[in-house]
Chain A
C-alpha cells in the first residue's frame, strides 16, 4: 500500500513512527515529545472553520430532570458476566463488528446527547447545549469543554468532522455507516473548537432530528485510514470517552474493562453514582446451561431470566431458599421489538387477503403464551407498541377462531381437504413454510402447527442457521418469515418495512413485499411531516391500513426484564428505570458490596427468607 502513496505522506508516516518509537515506554501526558507528536497529527488533519454561527439561536439544555441513580451507591468491586462467544474483533465498525460483544465496546463511546431513561427527555452528554435551525434539519451543539479521550486528548470539533471522513471511508468496509453518514448525516460544520452543527438529510420534528443526528465522535489522532485499517484495528484498543476502557484481553477467555478514576464525566449531574464497579470482566462461556452453573457457584454475579424455563424451573435451589440469590421481575416500558410472522404477499397462496386473514385466525398465539411461555409473554397487536402517542392502541390482533378461519378459507376457494385433512384448491395444497432461525422457538411453532392443522393449514417448519434464515428473508425467498425487528427510536418507522419502493427487491426490510399505493402516500406524508400531531395521526392511519392488509401476524412482546442476582449486588430504591436493564454493566445504577460477597461465599452470612421481587411501576397494558 505504501507504493501508491505520495512521498509527502510517506515522509509524514516515517516521522510519526519515529516519534512514536521515541515516545515508547513513557507516559504520554508528561512527555513534551508526545505533545509534538499530537501537533504533527493535528497539522495533517485539522479542519478549517466552516462558517459563522447564526445569530439568535435559542440554546437549550436540560439540567432539571431528576437524577436516576442512588446516593447510597458505593463505588468499587468487580462485576463478572459472560458472553457465549469470544468477539471476532473489538473494532466498532467494519466486518464482524456487530456481534453480541459490540454492546460492551460501543457503550464506551458516548454521543452528543442522550435520552433520560425515565422522562425520555434529552439530557446533555458530550454536548452541553443544543439549538435548532429554522430549516428543520440542522442542529447546533456546544461541546463539553472538559470532555477527553481516554488517552487524555481533549475532544474537539475536529473529532466530529473527522467522524464524517472516517465513516464515509471505504477503508472501514462498513456500507451501512458509509451510507448513514452520507445520506442521513449530510454535513458537519465547525464554528470553533467547541461549537459545531450537524445537518441531516431531511426535515423532521425537532426531537426526531436531535435523536437521529446526535452522533458520537471518532478520535482523529488515533486512526490511520488506509486499506489495512480493518486488519490492524481488530485488537487495538481505541481511545474512548465513556467511563470504562478495555484493560485486558485474554483471547478466547475474557475481556476486562476498568473504570477510569479521573473520568471527565465523574461530576456531571446525570452521571454521578453510576458506573460503580471498578472492573467488569466479561468471560466467554459457550453454553447457557454451563454459565448457569457458574452463576450458582458465585462466579457470575447475575443471570438473565427472561426465558420462562429459566425463571420458573432453573432458578431454584438452596441459595434461592436461603435468600442468597434474589430474583427480580421488573416491568419496563420501552418501544417493543416487532415480532411476528411476516407473510410474503408475492407468494401465490399468500397473495390472497382472505388466506392471510384466515391464517391469522388459525394461529393460536394465546395457547403458545399460556403453555410453553407460562403466561409470561404478552400478545403483540401492532408493529409499534410502546411508542407513546404514536402507538395505535385501538387495533387488536386477529384472535384464534376456527369458525372465522374456516369461513375465510372456504371463501378463498380452499374448500376440499386431502387425506391428511389439509385444505386443497385444484392441485395445490394449503401448505406453508415458516422460516426461522432460533432453535428454542421450535416449541412455539410446533404448537401453532398442530393448532393450524385444525383449520386445514399445514405449516412446515424450516429451521436454518440464524444468519442464513435472515438472508433468505431479505432475499424474499420465504413464504412466512418468523422473526422480530428490534424496536427503538422515538417514533415508528414505516418506509423500510412497508413502502412499495422496497417490495419485490432483494436485500431490504420489506419482508411482506407490501405494495399498497394509499399506504405509500401516507408513508411519504409521514416522513415529511414535521408537526407531531400530524405524524401521530398518520401513524395511526398507516398502522390501521397495515392491519387491514393482514400482511403481518404479530406474536409476542416481552415488556419486562428478569434476573437472578446474588445478594451482594445492590440496586437503588427505585430498582430500575423505565427503559433499560437492571444490571447493565456499562451504564447501570447498581453497585457491589464486596464484604457481603465474601461473607456469603464463606457461608458466614445470615440466611433470610427467599426474595423474589415483582416491580410493576412501569407496567402498562
Chain B
C-alpha cells in the first residue's frame, strides 16, 4: 500500500484496468504461481526424498550432496534410491525410520523400467507416474515440469537480452537520427534476412548447443524486431513539447532519454512482452522437436512432442505435452491481450 503513492497515476489506472480484466489477470496469477513453483520444482518433483529420518538423524537430501546407499544401511555406494528406501523402511514396522517423498517421486532423467513391461508405460496412480512414462521409461510429468522451467527461463532471459539490445539501439536510432539511423536501418534490414533456422541447424550440427550457446545464437538473430518500434516511438516522443521543455531547461541527453522518452514508450515494450515470451517458448520447443535444440537427455517439450508424434499408439505422450503447451501459451496470450488493453491510450476500446 505504501508503494502506491510513488506510482504515476497513469500507471495506477493502467494496473487497475488490468486487474479488472479477469481473464488476463487470473492467467497472470496462475502463470506466476507456476513459474514460482517451477523454481522450487526439486521439492515437488524429485527422486530425492524431502526428509529422511534414519536412526534418530534427519536428512534433507533435496539440495544436499549425493547420499550413497550405504548411509542408510543399503549395500551400495551409488546414490540412494529413496523410493526403495521408503519401501524398505515400511517393511520393518518396529523401526522408527521413515521417508517423506515429494509429490512426484521421480526426477526427469532416471529411467523406471518395471520388469516385463516396455516403455512407454501408460499413466498409473499406483506407480505415481501420473502422466505415464516416455519411450525410455522416464516420468512424463517430471520431464514436463523441468522442461517448462528450462523453457520459461530460456524465454525470459532471451526476452531481457533481446529487449535490452533492441530498446537501446532503437532508442539511439530515433534519438540521434541522421546517418546513424540510416546506417543501422540498413544493417537491420540485411541482418533480418539471414535465414535464422538454417543458421541454427548448421551451428547445431557442428557443436553441441547448450543453454547459453543457443541463447547467444537466438539473441544474435532475434534483437532486430524491437528496434523498429522503439525507433518510431522515440522519433515521435522527442519532438513533443515536454521533451523540448526538458531540453530548454538544460537536461542532458541521458536525462531526456531515461527520464522522459523511455517512460513514455514503456507501453509499447510492455505490450510486446507476453508475445515475446510465448515466441521464445515455441521457438525452443520447435528447435528441440527438430533435434537442433538442447542436447539429450535435457528434459524438453519439443523432444517429448517428437516422441509423441512418432508414438501415437501411446496417446499420453502427445496429449500431455500438447495440453501443457496449449495451457501455457493460452495463458500467456490472455495476459498479453489484457496488457495491451490496459495500456491502450484509447481508453474505451473494445476487444471482446
- What residue of chain B has the Cβ atom nearest to residue A451's Cβ? B111
* B193: Cβ under 8 A from any A Cβ: no
- What residue of chain A has the Cβ atom nearest to residue B114's Cβ? A371
Chain A contact residues, majority secondary structure: helix
CB contact under 8 A between A461 and B296, given known A446-B138, A447-B136, A468-B206: yes
Which A residues are CB-close (under 8 A) to B66?
417, 419-421
Query: B119 contacts A465, CB within 8 Å?
Result: no
Query: A309 contacts B311, CB within 8 Å?
Result: yes
CB contact under 8 A between A374 and B118, given known A420-B66, A421-B78: yes
CB contact under 8 A between A454 and B313, given known A463-B291, A463-B295, A465-B205: no
A400, chain B: closest CB distance, angstroms:
13
Query: B109 contacts A313, CB within 8 Å?
Result: no
CB contact under 8 A between A450 and B110, given known A402-B76, A419-B65: yes
Q: What is the size category of the interface that chain B forms with chain A?
A: 20 to 34
Query: B310 contacts A289, CB within 8 Å?
Result: yes
* B79: Cβ under 8 A from any A Cβ: yes
B125-167 Cβ-contact flags toward A at 8 Å (1 or 0): 0000000000111100000000000000000000000000000
Query: Which interface residue of A288, A309, A456 has the most chain B CB atoms within 10 A?
Result: A309
Query: A439 contacts B136, CB within 8 Å?
Result: no
Query: B137 contacts A421, CB within 8 Å?
Result: no
* B208: Cβ under 8 A from any A Cβ: yes
A575, chain B: closest CB distance, angstroms:
27
A467, chain B: closest CB distance, angstroms:
8
CA distance A372 to B120 in the complex (A): 9
Which A residues are CB-close (under 8 A) to B311?
309, 313
Residues of B273-291 contacting chain A, CB below 8 A = 291
Which A residues are CB-close (under 8 A) to B32?
none
CA distance A450 to B47 in the complex (A): 13
* A231: Cβ under 8 A from any B Cβ: no
CB contact under 8 A between A442 and B313, given known A374-B118, A447-B111, A463-B291: no
Which of A309, A406, A418, A468 touches B205 (beta carbons < 8 Å)? A468
Which A residues are CB-close (under 8 A) to B111?
371, 446-447, 450
* B9: Cβ under 8 A from any A Cβ: no
Query: A443 contacts B205, CB within 8 Å?
Result: no
CA distance A553 to B78 in the complex (A): 23
CB contact under 8 A between A442 and B118, given known A465-B205, A468-B206: no
Which B residues are CB-close (under 8 A) to A532?
none
A439, chain B: closest CB distance, angstroms:
6
- What residue of chain B has the Cβ atom nearest to residue A406's Cβ? B77
A476, chain B: closest CB distance, angstroms:
17
Query: A464 contacts B136, CB within 8 Å?
Result: no
A299, chain B: closest CB distance, angstroms:
19
CA distance A316 to B66 in the complex (A): 44
CA distance A289 to B111 in the complex (A): 25
* B113: Cβ under 8 A from any A Cβ: yes
Query: A371 contacts B137, CB within 8 Å?
Result: yes
* A557: Cβ under 8 A from any B Cβ: no
Which of B78, B296, B309, B312 touches A456 (beta carbons < 8 Å)? B78
CA distance A464 to B311 in the complex (A): 23
Query: B78 contacts A462, CB within 8 Å?
Result: no
Query: B119 contacts A461, CB within 8 Å?
Result: no
Which of B78, B138, B295, B309 touches A461 (beta carbons < 8 Å)? B295
Which A residues are CB-close (under 8 A) to B296?
439, 442, 445-446, 461, 463
Residues of A421-455 contacting chain B, CB below 8 A = 421, 439, 442-443, 445-447, 449-450, 453-455
* B297: Cβ under 8 A from any A Cβ: yes
* B68: Cβ under 8 A from any A Cβ: yes
CA distance A453 to B206 in the complex (A): 27
CB contact under 8 A between A421 and B68, given known A313-B313, A450-B109: yes
CB contact under 8 A between A462 and B297, given known A447-B111, A450-B109, A453-B78: no
CA distance A450 to B296 in the complex (A): 13
* A10: Cβ under 8 A from any B Cβ: no
Residues of A11-64 contacting chain B, CB below 8 A = none
* A314: Cβ under 8 A from any B Cβ: yes
Query: B119 contacts A372, CB within 8 Å?
Result: yes
Residues of A175-217 contacting chain B, CB below 8 A = none
Query: A462 contacts B208, CB within 8 Å?
Result: yes
CA distance A313 to B135 in the complex (A): 12
* A312: Cβ under 8 A from any B Cβ: yes
Which A residues are CB-close (under 8 A) to B113?
367, 371, 447
- What residue of chain B has the Cβ atom nearest to residue A373's Cβ? B118
CA distance A450 to B81 in the complex (A): 12
Which of B68, B78, B208 touches A455 (beta carbons < 8 Å)? B78
Query: B77 contacts A449, CB within 8 Å?
Result: no
CB contact under 8 A between A449 and B297, given known A417-B66, A462-B208: yes
CA distance A418 to B64 in the complex (A): 12
Which B residues are CB-close (under 8 A) to A371?
111, 113, 118-119, 137
CB contact under 8 A between A372 and B136, given known A313-B313, A442-B296: yes
Query: B206 contacts A372, CB within 8 Å?
Result: no
A271-292 Cβ-contact flags toward B at 8 Å (1 or 0): 0000000000000000011000
CA distance A495 to B306 in the complex (A): 41
CA distance A510 to B135 in the complex (A): 34
Residues of A302-321 contacting chain B, CB below 8 A = 308-309, 312-314, 316
CA distance A289 to B79 in the complex (A): 39
- What residue of chain A has the Cβ atom nearest to residue B80's Cβ? A421
Query: A446 contacts B119, CB within 8 Å?
Result: no
Which A residues are CB-close (under 8 A) to B138?
446
B195, chain A: closest CB distance, angstroms:
17
Which of A314, A367, A419, A454 touches B78 (beta carbons < 8 Å)? A454
A420, chain B: closest CB distance, angstroms:
6
Which B residues are CB-close (under 8 A) to A445?
296
CA distance A442 to B310 in the complex (A): 15
CA distance A288 to B310 in the complex (A): 9
Residues of B88-134 contacting chain A, CB below 8 A = 109-111, 113, 118-119
CA distance A542 to B312 in the complex (A): 47
Which B residues are CB-close (under 8 A) to A439?
291, 296
Query: B136 contacts A446, CB within 8 Å?
Result: yes
A349-391 Cβ-contact flags toward B at 8 Å (1 or 0): 0000000000000000001000110100000000000000000
B268, chain A: closest CB distance, angstroms:
40
Q: A367-B113, A443-B119, A464-B206 are in contact. List 5 more A-B contacts (CB 8 A).
A: A288-B310, A314-B313, A371-B119, A453-B78, A462-B295
Q: Which residues of B contact A (CB under 8 A)?
A: 65-66, 68, 76-79, 109-111, 113, 118-119, 135-138, 205-206, 208, 291, 295-297, 309-313
Considering the complex of A and B, which 6 residue pairs feature the smallest CB-CB distances, nearest first? Answer: A419-B65, A454-B78, A421-B66, A465-B205, A443-B136, A371-B113
Jot down 21 A-B pairs with beta carbons below 8 A, ordered by A: A288-B310, A289-B312, A309-B135, A367-B113, A417-B66, A419-B65, A421-B66, A439-B291, A442-B297, A446-B111, A446-B136, A446-B296, A450-B109, A450-B111, A453-B78, A453-B79, A461-B295, A461-B296, A461-B297, A463-B295, A464-B205
Q: Which residues of A contact B (CB under 8 A)?
A: 288-289, 308-309, 312-314, 316, 367, 371-372, 374, 402, 406, 417-421, 439, 442-443, 445-447, 449-450, 453-456, 461-465, 468
